[in-house]
Structure 1
Amino acid sequence: MFDMKKVEIEWGGKTLTLETGRVARQADGAVLATLGETVVLCAVTAAKNVKEGQDFFPLTVHYQEKFSSAGRIPGGFFKRERGATEKETLTSRLIDRPIRPLFPEGFYNEVLVIAQVLSYDGENEPDIVAMIAASAALTLSGVPFMGPIAGARVGYADGEYQLNPTMDEIKAGSLELVVAGTRDAVLMVESEAKELSEDVMLGAVMFAHRESQKVIDAIIRLAEQAAKEPWELASSEGNNELLGKLRELAGSGLEAAYKLVGKAERVAAIAAAKTPLKDAYADADPATKLKASKLGKKLEAEIVRTAILKEGRRIDGRDTKTVRPIEAMVGFLPRTHGSALFTRGETQAIVTTTLGTKDSEQMIDGLTGLSYEHFMLHYNFPPYSVGEVGRFGAPGRREVGHGKLAWRAIHPMLPSKDEFPYTIRVLADITESNGSSSMATVCGASLSLMDAGVPLKRPVAGIAMGLILEGKDFAVISDILGDEDHLGDMDFKVAGTTEGITSLQMDIKIAGITEEIMRVALDQAKAGRAHILGEMAKALDHTRTELSAHAPRIETMQIDKAKIRDVIGTGGKVIREIVAETGAKVDIDDEGLIKISSSDLSQIEAARRWIQGIVEEAEVGKIYTGKVVNLVDFGAFVNFMGGKDGLVHVSEIRNDRVERVADALSEGQEVKVKVLEVDPRGKVRLSMRVVDQETGEELEDTRPPREGREDRPRGDRGDRGPRRDGDGGRGRDRSRGRGGDRDRGDRGPRPERGDRPERKEEGGDPEFAPAFLTRNDDD
């Protein structure tokens, strides 16, 4: 029934399967790719006609993760997949970037690529599988695609490269790098590294490219069995003649315009130079106008590229290695926890850092389940930053991608959560842009984090490199401008510290670059990065030792896991009471690690003392500060360790006699007490009279010893003789039971309690006091 075609290869110790002809048969191309038990379906459709007036290539890539692929039901109210998550957006870009340059110039048919994760085994990441499936589907579709491509993920641990490592292996290693390329060259690189050298990074790129060749061969074998007939492309005859006419009309004016250093002056001069072109083709048909417009851009690229390649002169007058002037300042905003203003030429970013507590962490609901992220970096690019009118609202794919690139650059230099238990949010607002605002974000983020007191291991800087390639001749240019980015062949971004690279991203607009070009670009970027770090150090070269006065303080304490229940209390009663009474936030994990946070240090200290009182045992002889919580006839109960109460007997309130406890103490009164005794049941006996209530210092006990009893040696009591009545009792008629009447003889009536004669010992004898109790907050 199905005309199914399939190829299989062993790749990285696992089986990669590509199949077509069974699923999504009405698409122009559809491939089901399987690696391990991770399965991705990619379907490609393309419009057969071009929309009138279309002057760009409308390629759209959508990557979607089905929760059912991991046996999960989505969270939230609707319980279904909704808009694209950050990971889905980033993976869509990851697929888009290497395939876009492989469509021929002038091809403007709309192309839609949809990759859906149908099964996820928790081990083989679906993004690489989706990229391979997209490449195979395009190759089979007949759409003019100069592929195939393949992608691979590379890790690095113990001096060895790892092909398609698991997430656990990546976390344990020092590199996560994704590479996509054709058979002959590399097209795209995306990475995060822990200060690796240029040689190690280049080696990882080339290792991934070599290992990808097996996948490219498999796609070609599948295409030989199932590829559709290729589309016919429109002829480009007459383009050279039209380009020559445009050069005559505007060539000299454009050359002069591109020699102007200032962006505003240059833009105005370029617009004036194009006026003869508009006049010449004002009455032409729409197709000719469109062709003239596209060739006009090609003429601009030719002028700029020739000046760089032949003369070494760039648009703003710099040579190929010079970085534009840099100005950096920190503490730019008064109420933020950390802030920086970073300006490089005509690119500028305001970057702020906000510190929060654990409850500010970002919750991520993905295929692997719920996870929490304590470091966020968000990037905004308003239209005024390039002097334009445009959409202003939720971040688009570009903003998400640029923010993630900066996140990868900074992330390896952050302290661990144990070292710095804060949730960190960095916000980059681009206020001017003329070349690599993402790298300005990296520099500004590093300064802002240090200004906030986040202990970065080392400052991080980033630089964007460009490429002009004509045949075998090429020029690598440092710190590219916006126009150089548009008219050049490469966008190569490198971020790192003085010790090595933390992030590398490369996008190629041509069929690919060689290892030699990449080596030159990496070496030149290293020198540029060192220069930028030096300029940043003039503003701030170390992390501030004190947090902002407006930032919350967080203290951590470790308790025994057996005491967690005591701190939380029944239904969370105790921990809620601590938060309500002290004003501090308290978080406790399953290992007994407690984080106490507040902008007021006194609140943190109050909560810490309270918790210590719950988990610690009272120490005999130690003096504590407590609060009277209950008054009774024989004394007062004092809460002195947050969760512990002890009894101050009436005789231990002060040295002189206390007739009524209420005359000496009141509920809620703060007192200082010394622990006299802790009995085997945990009951605590306290004393106030031996502690100076003003200073908390211990006083000498000046009370004379009591008569007899404790001071009198008991000695040998000898033979006490036979028991009376012969029944082992002590003069009681046992036959009447405990409640029977005893013969009181001539003792007369029992006196009323208040008429009893006073005891000789002043303050009463504690031996005759009722047994004291300890409150239980859970009762």
Structure 2
Amino acid sequence: MFDIKRKTIEWGGRSLTLETGRIARQADGSVLATYGETVVLATVVAAKTPKAGIDFFPLTVNYQEKTFAAGKIPGGFFKREGRPSEKETLTSRLIDRPIRPLFVKGFKNEVQVVVTVLAHDLENDPDIVAMVAASAALTLSGAPFMGPIGGARVGYIDGEYVLNPTLDQVKSADNRMDLIVAGTADAVMMVESEIQELAEDIVLGGVTFAHKHMQPVIDAIVELADHAAKEPVDFQPTDLDALTVAIALNVKDDLLAAYRLTAKAERHEAVQVAKAKAKAHFAEVQDEAGMDPAKFSSAFKEVEAAVLRRDIIDNKHRVDGRDLTTVRAIESEVGILPRAHGSALFTRGETQALVVATLGTGDDEQFIDALEGTYKEKFLLHYNFPPYSVGETGRMGSPGRREIGHGKLAWRALRPMLPTPEEFPYTMRLVSEITESNGSSSMASVCGGSLALMDAGVPLKKPVSGVAMGLILEPSGEFAILTDILGDEDHLGDMDFKVAGTADGITSLQMDIKIPGITE
């Protein structure tokens, strides 16, 4: 009945086994990954036809932890799993970020990756196993995925890097780094971390250590695929070259002029005027390809990106008039809310965060119900991104994946500099309300959070700040690294690299890219 294929390797002192052919056989790709005694099932299903009328890749990643995995029954009245926890949301993002750039450009079929934790040995965190299982399932599925990727966690204990430290090692006082890296055989795709104020060369060493030690996993996935992969989908991306050239001829100068406007609202309005002009041109010449909404939108974005990128590469000119290394003007204010324990308004260019600190007692600590057990958290950071911050209308509701992810990044950046419970026995909650946004609101939350905590009288070890870096990398090899990126430079560029820390070291690092990896 079953045609089971397995591959087992020794990795970080434990066995990693990848199995396919026994469970979830109707999915396009299905892999059961076992590391130690942590077991994760990853499935992939890709729609057979593209989703009509969209100009983006509709990928969904759902990571879910079943409480039976740790021998527990869910709390609450209904005694079944409810809405995703913060850990599930963050791990879904962790898997999505490195795999999304590796799908063939132009692929618009819906793809759903579902990763389920079936067993947790309370030693090996399922997140890395989930990433590996998802990569393997995608590689077997036949979808146009230019992987596989591998992933690894790195600790730094007693001056030595530790591959895939156990949960106890990660939480120990001796560990100074919790670094997660994903990458292909050739390059790094994603970095996520919490770091105890380490020097840049040590952090970079951790990234390269992780990339080196994920290679056996990538090789194992390739070997499994040699025996079990489905035939690749015959996907030919739509050729938009002629349409892109036609749009460029029509509105290139208009876009160049638009991207010389330093005010975000004026710039976006000018871009929309150029887009309308191009649409009107194709309607006038009755060009059906140009009038297809999805094709036109994709081609226009290509032209828009090319204009912005070449202006930066050729002229070292950025959309708000800065050179490549200048940070936007900063204004900081504290104590602006009379009844708050601590408050700060941090403004960097057109990005602004109103951050409010509240102090509480032990009764205000948050109970976290995790697979590995229930624990209490004394430091909370909640990030909110209302639609008015970008001059738009929108639905207001519970926090989405982006808000949870940005809040966790700021939380990781600030936590290493907090006083110990013995030094400061209060529960601390920060709320970051993003009141304006044009690039790097999570790093504004770090800066404003540091100010608000100090305004509340919290004895931080050192103040923490953060900045977002960007990259423009052309096929020719030409590149430009941008300091303190804007929203447009994030949207049309190749990298969003956020780094936070003190004057003496790094406390958090997060990297996402839109290209198939960057080398050391």
TM-score (ref. length: structure 1): 0.65
Q: C-alpha separation between the residues in 1 aligned to 2:415 and 2:270?
A: 43
Greater RCO (Cα-Cα under 8 Å, separation 6 or more): 2
How far did 1:295 drift?
Answer: 0.8
How far did 1:306 drift?
Answer: 0.6
Q: Is the 8 A contact 1:68 1:119 kept in 2?
A: yes
Q: C-alpha separation between the residues in 2 aligned to 1:390 and 1:183?
A: 41
Counterpart in the other structure of 1:115 = 115
What SS is found at the alignment partner of 1:391? coil
Q: C-alpha separation between the residues in 2 aligned to 1:116 and 1:44?
A: 12
Counterpart in the other structure of 1:321 = 325
How far did 1:77 drift?
Answer: 1.0
Counterpart in the other structure of 2:468 = 464
Residue 15 of structure 2 aligns with an amino acid whose one-letter code is: T
- Greater Cα shift, 52-61 or 350-359: 52-61
Indicate how the Cα distance of structure 1 residues 96 and 466 shifts in structure 2: closer, same or farther if over 3 A, else same. Answer: same
Equivalent residue for 1:196, pick from 195, 198, 221: 198
Residue 127 of structure 2 aligns with an amino acid whose one-letter code is: D
Residue 375 of structure 1 aligns with an amino acid whose one-letter code is: F
Counterpart in the other structure of 1:135 = 135
- Which aligned pairs between 1:196-345 and structure 2 lie closer than 5 A? 196-237=198-239, 239-282=240-283, 285=288, 288-345=292-349
Q: Is the 8 A contact 2:383 2:432 kept in 1?
A: yes
Q: C-alpha separation between the residues in 2 aligned to 1:195 and 1:324?
A: 25
1:279-300 per-residue CA deviation (whole Å, 9 max, x = no partner) reads 0233554873321221111101
Q: C-alpha separation between the residues in 1 aligned to 2:451 and 2:293?
A: 48
How far did 1:52 drift?
Answer: 2.2
Residue 264 of structure 1 aligns with an amino acid whose one-letter code is: A
Q: C-alpha separation between the residues in 1 aligned to 2:282 and 2:77?
A: 57
How far did 1:171 drift?
Answer: 2.5
What SS is found at the alignment partner of 1:327? strand
Residue 502 of structure 1 aligns with an amino acid whose one-letter code is: T
What SS is found at the alignment partner of 1:48? strand
How far did 1:235 drift?
Answer: 4.2
Counterpart in the other structure of 1:168 = 168
What SS is found at the alignment partner of 1:241? helix
Q: C-alpha separation between the residues in 2 aligned to 1:54 and 1:309?
A: 30
- Greater Cα shift, 439-448 or 72-81: 72-81
Larger radius of gyration: 1
Q: C-alpha separation between the residues in 2 aligned to 1:285 and 1:363?
A: 58
Q: Is the 8 A contact 1:56 1:108 kept in 2?
A: yes
Residue 276 of structure 1 aligns with an amino acid whose one-letter code is: K
- Which aligned pairs between 1:398-437 and structure 2 lie closer than 5 A? 398-437=402-441
Counterpart in the other structure of 1:591 = none
Counterpart in the other structure of 1:347 = 351
Residue 364 of structure 1 aligns with an amino acid whose one-letter code is: I
Q: C-alpha separation between the residues in 1 aligned to 2:356 and 2:237?
A: 52
Q: C-alpha separation between the residues in 2 aligned to 1:104 and 1:2?
A: 32
Indicate how the Cα distance of structure 1 residues 235 and 408 shifts in structure 2: closer, same or farther if over 3 A, else same. Answer: closer
Q: C-alpha separation between the residues in 2 aligned to 1:318 and 1:131?
A: 39
How far did 1:473 drift?
Answer: 1.6
Q: C-alpha separation between the residues in 1 aligned to 2:269 and 2:221?
A: 49
How far did 1:193 drift?
Answer: 0.5
Alignment of 1:502 onto 2:507: yes
Counterpart in the other structure of 1:485 = 490
What SS is found at the alignment partner of 1:309? helix
Counterpart in the other structure of 1:42 = 42
How far did 1:51 drift?
Answer: 2.6
1:244-295 per-residue CA deviation (whole Å, 9 max, x = no partner) reads 1111110111111111111122112212222221102335548733212211
What SS is found at the alignment partner of 1:184? coil
Q: C-alpha separation between the residues in 2 aligned to 1:274 and 1:58?
A: 24
Q: Is the 8 A contact 1:281 1:289 kept in 2?
A: no
Residue 491 of structure 1 aligns with an amino acid whose one-letter code is: D
Q: Is the 8 A contact 1:338 1:353 kept in 2?
A: yes
Counterpart in the other structure of 1:554 = none
Residue 338 of structure 2 aligns with an amino acid whose one-letter code is: P
Q: Is the 8 A contact 1:409 1:460 kept in 2?
A: yes
State the number of aligned residues.
Answer: 514
Q: Is the 8 A contact 2:417 2:461 kept in 1?
A: yes
Q: C-alpha separation between the residues in 2 aligned to 1:351 and 1:275?
A: 39
How far did 1:46 drift?
Answer: 1.0
How far did 1:74 drift?
Answer: 1.0
Q: C-alpha separation between the residues in 1 aligned to 2:398 and 2:450?
A: 25
Counterpart in the other structure of 1:473 = 478
Q: C-alpha separation between the residues in 2 aligned to 1:351 and 1:358?
A: 22
How far did 1:494 drift?
Answer: 0.2
Gaps of 5+ in 2: none
Counterpart in the other structure of 1:67 = 67
Residue 272 of structure 1 aligns with an amino acid whose one-letter code is: V
How far did 1:411 drift?
Answer: 0.3
Q: C-alpha separation between the residues in 1 aligned to 2:420 and 2:287?
A: 64
What SS is found at the alignment partner of 1:113? strand
How far did 1:187 drift?
Answer: 0.3
What SS is found at the alignment partner of 1:274? helix
Q: C-alpha separation between the residues in 1 aligned to 2:266 and 2:374?
A: 52
1:672-705 per-residue CA deviation (whole Å, 9 max, x = no partner) reads xxxxxxxxxxxxxxxxxxxxxxxxxxxxxxxxxx
Q: Is the 8 A contact 1:258 1:315 kept in 2?
A: yes
Q: C-alpha separation between the residues in 2 aligned to 1:65 and 1:120?
A: 9
Q: C-alpha separation between the residues in 2 aligned to 1:268 and 1:54?
A: 22
- Greater Cα shift, 68-77 or 289-298: 289-298
Task: Give the percent of matched residue pairs that are identical in Structure 1 and Structure 2.
Answer: 66
Q: Is the 8 A contact 2:123 2:168 kept in 1?
A: no
Indicate how the Cα distance of structure 1 residues 375 and 235 shifts in structure 2: closer, same or farther if over 3 A, else same. Answer: closer
Q: Is the 8 A contact 1:339 1:447 kept in 2?
A: yes
Alignment of 1:389 onto 2:393: yes
Q: Is the 8 A contact 2:63 2:114 kept in 1?
A: yes
What SS is found at the alignment partner of 1:281? helix
Residue 519 of structure 2 aligns with an amino acid whose one-letter code is: T
Q: C-alpha separation between the residues in 2 aligned to 1:60 and 1:514?
A: 27
Q: C-alpha separation between the residues in 2 aligned to 1:37 and 1:330?
A: 50
